[in-house]
Chains A and B, each alone.
Chain A
C-alpha cells in the first residue's frame, strides 16, 4: 500500500485531549470528529489537511485517554498515516485495531512541515520527495501484521473464526 501526502508537524506528548476534545465525544462519526481534530492546539488543522496527508510528531503520540475517537478523528479529517518517535500504549492498540497506519521513526527532525512524503507501508520505507531522502522503519511484529492485514481487529477475529 502506497501513501502520498503533505507533512503536518507536531511536537512531543500530543495527547488525546489535543486530538479530540472531550466535548465532541458525543459522536461516533469519524467525519464529524475529524472536523474538530487537533482544534485546541491548531484551530484550523482540519481545514488545512488534504486527503492523504501525514502527521509527523515527536515522542509519546496519543498519550492520555483511551478514546478511540482520537484515531477515528485523525482518519476522519483525511490523514492517511501518523509517523512519530513513539506512540502511547492505548493509542497504539487502537490504531492497530481500527486500521490507522502508523510508523515509528526516530529521525523525524529530517522531515519538515509541508514536505511531500511517499510511504510504502508493507516495505516500511518512507521517501521524502521534497528532500530526496529515504528512511527505513522496522516492520510490525508478525502478530500485529496479521491484524493490520485483515484491516483491523474485528475482521481479524471473524477471519480466525472461519479458520477454526
Chain B
C-alpha cells in the first residue's frame, strides 16, 4: 500500500522504515514555532527542566504577534520573557515588532517553510503551511519546550481524508469560501485527528494565498493538518520568496505527491462551480450559510486581517471594492495587514489611503481582535463580520457579542452597506 503526502513527510522525519495511521512516532522537526502567549509557558518549562541550550538556534522561530505591540503591562512582561530568551539563546528567527507579522503569514513570506518540511507550532493555526506541501501541525507549550531541548516531537500518524474540488470557483468565491463550505459540510469535528488533503482542478488553479487561507482553517474541522501537494504554483511561490530573502531552495519536493495506491479514510468530491461566498454564523465555524441568506444581518464592526486573510491579495480585493466609497455611518472598519511587508506594499499601492478615506483604520500587524486581544474588542450585543477564523462565544470580546466569518470581498462590501452583503451588490 502506498503513502499519502502527509505520511511520506512524517516517514522521512522518523528513524522508522514504515509507518501506518494510528502509530505513535517520534519525529525530528525542521522548525519549532512559538508566540508571545505560548512561548513564555514553554520557556518556563525549558528552564525548569534544567536545559541550558536549545537544540538548534536556527530551527526555532519566535514571533510576538498575539498581544504585540504589547497591549498592556502583563503582555509586555510576556513579550520580554520571549525577547530575553531569544537574546540569551541567540535565536536567529526572533522578530521584534518592526520586523514581525502574524506568524502564519510571516513564515511563508520569509521562506522559512519549504515543501516537505515538518513544522510544529504552539499555535493551532500552524496547519496553514500545509499549503506549501509541508506537514505542519499545532501543538502545546510543553511540546514546544521539549522541541527546544531535543528538536523532537511525538505524533500519532493520522488517517487522511481526501477532498476533491471540481469545476471552477465563481468570481467572488475563493479559498476561504471553499474551506468554510467544507467545514459546513463535515462539522467542527469532521476531520478530528485526521489530515485533510485538498486536491482537484479547483485547487490546481488556486493561488498560494488562497491555499494558505484554506489550510489555515483545517483545524476548525478538528484536523491535525491540511495539506496540498506542491506543484508549479508552489514552486513559483517558494522561488520568489527565496529570491527576496536569499534562501536556498532545493528541488527535492517536485516528486512529493501522494501515491496512487495511498489509502484514505474517506474521499469527498464536490463540484463548486455555483458556490456563492460563504459566511460562518455565530458561534461555530461550521454554522455556514451562503451570503445571500444573511442580507438582513446588521453589522457594527468589520475586521479585515488575521493569519487567514490578512495577505496582500486579501487587501487588494478589499481595496478594489472600497475604492472611492465610504463605509456605512456608525460602522467601524479595522484593516490589519498581516505582516510589515504587506503593510508597506499596501501603502505603496495606495490601499492604505483607500481604507482610511473610506472611513476605516489601518493598523500595524497583530492578531489583535481576532482572539479578543486588543484593537477592536466587541461590547455586549455588538455584531462583527471578520475575515478571521473563529466565531466562538466571546471570541472577539463580550460573551454576548456575535462574530460572522467571511472572505475579504464580503467583508469590504458589508462595511459599505452596514449589513452582510454580497460583493455583486457593490461591483
Q: Evaluate contact between B74 and A26: CB separation under 8 angstroms.
A: yes
Q: Evaluate contact between A26 and B67: CB separation under 8 angstroms.
A: yes
Q: Evaluate contact between B24 and A22: CB separation under 8 angstroms.
A: no
**A26 CA / B372 CA spacing, docked (Å):** 13
Per-position contact with B for A140-156: 1 when CB-CB < 8 Å, else 0? 01011001000011100
Number of interface residues of A (CB under 8 A): 40
Per-position contact with B for A90-108: 1 when CB-CB < 8 Å, else 0? 1011100110000000000
Which of A17, A68, A89, A93 is the one whose CB lies under 8 Å from B393?
A: A17
Instruction: List B residues at the A interface (Cβ < 8 Å).
Output: 24, 37-38, 40-41, 44-45, 48-49, 66-67, 72, 74-75, 77-78, 121-124, 126, 138-143, 145-146, 149-150, 154, 188-189, 192-193, 219, 222-224, 284, 371-373, 390, 392-395, 399
Q: Evaluate contact between A90 and B140: CB separation under 8 angstroms.
A: yes
**A25 CA / B372 CA spacing, docked (Å):** 11
Q: Evaluate contact between B140 and A66: CB separation under 8 angstroms.
A: yes
Known: A21-B394, A26-B72. A89 touches B224 (CB 8 A): yes
- Select from chain B the residue with minimum beta-carbon distance to A39: B399
Output the least CB separation between A140 and chain B (Å). 10
Known: A13-B188, A26-B78, A67-B38. A157 touches B394 (CB 8 A): no
Q: Evaluate contact between A63 and B222: CB separation under 8 angstroms.
A: yes
Q: Is A128 interfacial (CB 8 A cutoff)?
A: no
Known: A68-B140, A88-B222. A15 touches B38 (CB 8 A): no
**A66 CA / B38 CA spacing, docked (Å):** 8
Which of A60, A66, A86 is the one whose CB lies under 8 Å from B138?
A: A66
Instruction: List A residues at the B interface (Cβ < 8 Å).
Output: 13, 15, 17-18, 21-23, 25-28, 40-41, 59-60, 63-69, 86, 88-90, 92-94, 97-98, 141, 143-144, 147, 152-154, 157-158
List 8 extra interface pairs beyond A41-B399, A65-B371, A89-B224, CB under 8 A: A66-B122, A66-B126, A88-B192, A89-B193, A90-B140, A93-B140, A152-B142, A157-B49
Q: Evaluate contact between B395 and A97: CB separation under 8 angstroms.
A: no
**A25 CA / B390 CA spacing, docked (Å):** 17
Which of A27, A41, A64, A158 is the one whose CB lies under 8 Å from B124?
A: A64
**A41 CA / B283 CA spacing, docked (Å):** 12
Which of B24, B74, B138, B150 is the one whose CB lies under 8 Å from A27?
A: B74
Output the least CB separation between B121 and chain A (Å). 8
Output the least CB separation between B195 and chain A (Å). 11
- Select from chain B the residue with minimum beta-carbon distance to A157: B146
